[in-house]
A and B are shown apart, each in its own frame.
Chain A
Amino acid sequence: MHNGESQNGQANLATPAGINTDLLKRHGNTGKLFRSVLLVTGIMFLVGIVGIVLRLLEDGTENTRVWGYHAAAFAFILTTAQGAVMVAIAPRMAKAHWRRPISRVAEMFAVVGIVNLLMFIPLLSVLPSLEDGRRSLWFYNAADPILSKVPVYTPHIWASLSLIFLVLSGLMLLWVSSLADLATIRDSSSGRKHRFFAWLANGWHGTSKQWFMKYHRIGILGAFYFMMLIFTHFLIATDFDMALIPGWIDALFPITHAANSLQAGCATVIIAMFVLRRFGGYGDWIGLDQFWGLGKLMFALSLLWFWFWFSSFIILWYGSRPNEESVLNLIIRGPYQPAFMAAFILNFIAPLFMMMWNPVRKSIWGPTLVATGILIGTFFDRIRLYVSAYSIPGIGDSSVDKHMLHEIPQTVMPHFIDYMIWVGAIGGSVFVYMLATRIFPIINIWEQKELLLYKFHKKLHRTEVLVLGKPD
C-alpha cells in the first residue's frame, strides 16, 4: 500500500503556507494553451447553439425522429459530466484520503449542468404528452375515470424540476465546499478581484462554527445530489427513453442508466485529471494514488455495468415474449447492434481485461486509456438507446400498439445538424468548465491543508510506515 505517497513530495508543499502559495499562483495564471482552448470550445459552443436553432427552424418539434441525436447528446452529458460530481461525494463520505486533490475537479462538473439544462428545453417540446397512449410512470389512462385525471404534461414538469434541482444542488455543493478556498483567494487579492471574492466567500472567517456547518452542509448536499441524480436518471430513462419504445418493460433500466452514470462519471474525472497533469502542470498534486484509487472504483463500476445489463438481458431473452423480443431486436440485435457492441466492448470487456492487471491499474496511462474507452462506449450506448427510441414512427399517434413494437425501424444516421449539436454539447461543456476554473481553484486548498493533520510517516523499528488518521 502506498496511500497518499506521491503528491506533496516537495518540501515546500508540506506546509499550509506552501500549499496556499503554489495553488493560488496556479489559479491566478492562465497560459496561452488555456486561452486558445477556451476560444476553440467557445466557438464549438456557438456552433451547437446554431445547430439547435437550425433544427428548430427546419424540422420543428413535431417529428421525434430527427431529435434522436439531440436527446442522445443530452443523455450523454447527463451521464458523464453530471455523474462526475459523485466522484467528489462518495469517497468523501468513505473518508478516503486519496480523494482530496480531485474532489474539486469532480465537483466543478456541476457547472456543466447549466449547458445540459439548455439542451433539455427543446426536448421538452419534442416529447409528446401522455395522451398518445404510451405507457408511463405516471399511469395516465384516458379510459380510466381516475387515471385520466393525471395532467398530460406530468413527465415534462417532473423531469424539468428534478433536472433543475440537480443542477442547483450541484452548484450549491461546489460553492459551499469551496467557501474556504474563496476566502483564501479573497485574502490574497486586492481591488475588484478582492471585492468579487469577498462577495463569493460570503463572510467566511473559518470559525469553528463555520467549519462545523460546512462539513454538515457538504454532507447533506452530497446526499441530496446523489438522490437527485438517481431520481433524474430515473425520470429521464423512463419517460424520455423507455416509454417511447412500445412493449419495453424493464424495471432495472432506470437504475442501469444511473449506474452507467457513476461509471462514466469516474471516467470523466480520470480524463480531467490526466489533462490537468499533462497540460495543466498539476503533476505535483494529482498523482498515481488518485489514478489508482479512482481506477479501482471505475473497474468495479465497469463490472457493475455488465451485471446490470446482463440482469436485464437474461430476463428478456429467457422470457422471449413477443414484446420483449422486439425490444431486443431493436436495441441489441437489430439496427443498433454495432453501437451496442461498441458499448459492450468499451464499457465492459476492455476495462475488465485491462484493469485486472495491477500494473495497468496502478499507472497513469492505464486508467486514462480505459476511461477514454468508457466515454466512447457511453457515447455509443446513449446513441443506441435514445436514437432508437426516438426513431419509432408514429409516436404521438394513438393508433400505435403500446404493448408491442411491430416493425423495427431502420437505423437513423446523423444529419450534419446532429454533428453540430454534438460538437456544441461537448465544446460547451468544456468551455463552461474552463470558465469555472477561473473562479474556483481546481485543487481543493483546504482539503489539502487538512490532510497535513492526518497523514505522516513514522519510524517503526527497522522500517518506516505511513500513519493515516481517521477522524469520526
Chain B
Amino acid sequence: MAIRSVLGLFNNEDTAADALDALNEAGFDQSEYEVLTGTPYPEGTFGEAEPVHKLYRFPLIGAACGFIVGLLLTSGTQLAFPLVTGGKPILSIPPMAIIMYEGTMLGAILFTVVGIIFESRLPRLLMGAYNTKITEGAIGVAVTTDETKVSQAEDVLRNAGAEDLKRGWETEQNR
C-alpha cells in the first residue's frame, strides 16, 4: 500500500501539542506522526515519544577498530623494517602508544559521525511533506501513514487548528 504523508502547520506550541493529543486519540500510532521544529525544544514539550538511540555504541566500536589499526601499523612497520635508530628498541612502546592513541581517537570520532548521521535517519532522499515556514518558527506536525488514512489525518489536523495543510509522497523506509 502506498505511503503518504501530510503536514499541518501550527503557530504556537500549545496547539501543536493539542494536535498530537488529537492524533493519538484518533488512533494513530506514535510512530506515525512527528513534530518538525526549527529549533530544539526540551524533550517532551509536545508530548511526543522520547527518541531512543544507540549512538553510544558507535564510538566504542570505532575506538576498538582504530586501536587495532594503530597497533598493527605501529608494530607492523617496526617489525617489517627492523632498523635501529638511536639505540631505541625495535618495538618502542612509548611512540607506539602515541600513534595508537591518535588512531583510537580518530576511529572513535569517525564512527561517531557516521553514527550521528545514521541515527538521525539521514540522508533523507525524499523530503515528503514539508514547509519552509518550519525554519521560521512555525511548528509542523507530519503524519506519515497509509494512503487510506490520509484524509482522516487531515481532518484531525485541521480541527486542531492547523494553518496550512500539505501532502507529500513517502517511501516505505521513511515511515
Which A positions have Cβ atoms within 8 angstroms of B? 310, 313-314, 317-318, 320, 358, 460-463, 465
Contacts and interface: CB of A to CB of B under 8 A. Distances in A.
Contacts, number: 29
Contact of B46 (A318, A462, A465): A462
A462 to B, nearest CB: 3
A461 B13 CA distance: 7
Contact of B94 (A314, A462, A465): A314
A173 to B, nearest CB: 38
Interface stretch (B37-45, B144-152, B157-165): B37-45
Contacts of B43: 463
A69 to B, nearest CB: 31
Interface residues of B, number: 15
Interface in B11-33: 13-14, 17
Contacts of B17: 461-462
Contacts of A313: 94
B42 A463 contact: yes
A463 B41 CA distance: 11
Interface of B: 13-14, 17, 42-47, 56, 86-87, 94, 97-98
Contacts of A317: 94
Contacts of A358: 56
Nearest to B43: A463
A460 B46 contact: no
A463 B94 contact: no
Contacts of B87: 320
Nearest to A358: B56
A460 B45 contact: yes
B94 A461 contact: no
Contacts of A462: 17, 44-47
Please name the 10 residue pairs, one residue from A and one from B, whose CB atoms are nearest each other, closest first.
A462-B47, A463-B44, A461-B45, A461-B17, A465-B42, A462-B17, A461-B13, A314-B94, A463-B45, A317-B94
A157 B97 CA distance: 43
6 contacts: A310-B97, A317-B94, A318-B94, A320-B87, A461-B14, A462-B47
A320 B92 CA distance: 13
A462 B41 CA distance: 11
Contacts of B56: 358
A462 B35 CA distance: 13
Task: Give the residue among A317, A358, A462 with the most B Cβ atoms within 10 A.
Answer: A462
